[in-house]
Structures are given as C-alpha cells and as structure tokens.
Amino acid sequence: MSKIAVAMANGVEEIEGLTVVDLCRRAGIEVTMVSVSGNLTVHGSHGIDFKADALFEETDWDGFDMLVLPGGKVGTDSLEAHAGLMKILDSYAAAGKMVAAICAAPSVPGHRGILRGRKATCHPGFEKDLLGAEWLAEPVVCDGNLITSRGVGTAIAFALAITEHFCGAAKAREIADAIVYEE
C-alpha cells in the first residue's frame, strides 16, 4: 500500500490539505497528517481546527512514498520555516521520491531549486517563486516526481492526480464518480 505524508502547519488552507487526505484515503492510500507546529491540533486559515495524526518529531519519514505540501500563505510560510521539513523535502527530491504542492506551497520547492527545468503551476501571484520552472496555467501539472496545483478550486483535481499516480486512472475515475466530480 502506498503511503503519503501531508505536512500540516497552522494557517494551512483546510480544503487543500483535507481534500487530499479524504480522497486518497477513499482510494486506499495510507495518509498521515503530520503537524509541524509542535501540537497535534492544527489551526486552519479559516478558523477550522483539526487533529493531525502525528507530530513531525515523532514521524518515520523513510516510510513514505510522497510528501504533500498544502497551501495557505501563512501555512506555506510555516512549512518553509521548518528546517527539519526542508531537509525532508530536499532528501525526497534528491531521491526522486514524489512531492506534491498546491496553491502557495509550490513556492517552497521553487525556492529550493527543486522545480528548475520542470513544469509547474501555483496560485496566481506566486509564479515568480517557481524559480527556473516553466509555469503552466493548468489546474494540475504532473512532471516526473512532482505534482503541483493552483488552489482551493483545484483541490479535488489535485487529490485525484495523486490518487491516479498511486492507484491508476481507473481508481481515480471511480473516486471521481463516487463524489460526483465532473471535470
């Protein structure tokens, strides 16, 4: 079974993080919400609190097949400020492990040079942060071991792209049909 970690920081855009968790779990992917805020309770950007599954410091990062970075400007800044998470991000990228980021969060691998020479997308206004990438105005962009997406309105498509990567197109379509998602 595939395993993904969704890094959660206070200020996370709730829909972008939790949609990935929900749809990927429906597909049978093992998802762990990992708080980088030192507390299992994560405070979302719109006043929605939720409980993460694990704390960063207690997580075995070697066991995951993908790292997901949800957006929200404050949440993204907090993710990028977490030195330990940045080491994990760099190691995943260097090893060719999957990395997915949505909204403002593609700026994080962008700042670290991970997007150089790749295709990517992000929330409008963050294009300048995708250093060295070819920006595409697409809801979701998949390029090798990277999946990027634009924001809240593309969160379902983002989660389905992750599902398709791990479970195939038929399973992603099954999940899309079950939630009455129309492209």
Cα–Cα distance, 6 to 28 (Å, whole number): 15
Q: 96 forms bridges with which residues in the sheet? A: none
Cα–Cα distance, 159 to 85 (Å, whole number): 21
Give strand ranges (E) for the chain: 3-8, 30-35, 41-43, 49-51, 54-55, 66-69, 98-102, 119-120, 134-135, 140-143, 146-149
H helix or E strand, kind and range, residue 170: helix 169-178
List, in sequence order, the alpha helices (H) in 27-125: 73-81, 83-95, 107-111
**Do residues 151 and 102 lie in contact, with contact meaning Cβ atoms separated by under 8 Å?**
yes
Q: Which amino acid is at 150?
A: R
Q: In residues, how long is the chain?
A: 183
Considering 103, 122, 142, 167, which one is annotated as catalytic? 103
Q: Is 103 in the active site? A: yes
Among all residues, which ones are annotated catalytic? 103
